[in-house]
Amino acid sequence: MKSIERAHIVVVAGGEQRLILAADLCRMQVARASFLPCVAEARDFCRSDSPDLCLVVFDDWVVDAAPPAEIDAPGRDAGVPSLLLIEIVTPYIRRLARHCGYFAAVPSRIERPLLHRRMSAALQHRQSRAVAQARVPSAVSAGVRRLAAEAAELRKATRH
């Protein structure tokens, strides 16, 4: 079980938000934090350095607008959980974030104890690279579950 005090966290943010998160992470006593300017660099960093968690901040994204081009979670391929920090979280944003590989979408103005809780929860879901790359798409896994249920019913029928 990974704790925040021993975690290496990558933060993708710029400007004022970067400074605010740096101060907050210091108060949370994070062991190591790396600040990167864009999602592409964070993706490369996750593949090479294997951090424990990514925080991605999209402050300039308007809720009704189309999502930014680089919306995919940077740690998705490496099994590193990512949190999306955005100004306003709507059900659409929450679904989009989950679809793009984020653990959760949280408001950027969230109270820091709640951010600490979300980060801790995300750290508990960290996966190895092999598990992340072997992840089965949901449509296939639903079919596999259905086949497993049918096989279990067949076994029950043949026993009686």
Whole-number pLDDT of residue 64: 61
Decide which of 83 and 150 is more confident.
Answer: 83
Whole-number pLDDT of residue 140: 47
Q: What is the CATH number of the domain that holds 13?
A: 3.40.50.2300
30 and 9, same domain (yes or no): yes
Whole-number pLDDT of residue 18: 83
Which long-range CB contacts under 8 A does 43-51 form with residues at least 24 apart? 43/72, 43/74, 43/75, 43/77, 45/10, 45/74, 46/10, 46/74, 46/75, 46/77, 46/78, 46/80, 47/77, 47/78, 49/8, 50/78, 50/80, 51/7, 51/8, 51/9, 51/10, 51/75, 51/80
Whole-number pLDDT of residue 75: 87
Q: What is the pLDDT of residues 100-157, one digit of tens each?
A: 889 999 998 889 899 999 999 998 877 655 555 555 444 445 666 666 677 777 777 7
50 and 116, same domain (yes or no): yes
143 and 104, same domain (yes or no): no
Task: Give me the number of domains the chain comprises.
Answer: 2
Question: In terms of residue numbers, what domain contains 9?
Answer: 4-127
49 and 121, same domain (yes or no): yes
88 and 107, same domain (yes or no): yes
119 and 146, same domain (yes or no): no
Whole-number pLDDT of residue 11: 92
48 and 65, same domain (yes or no): yes
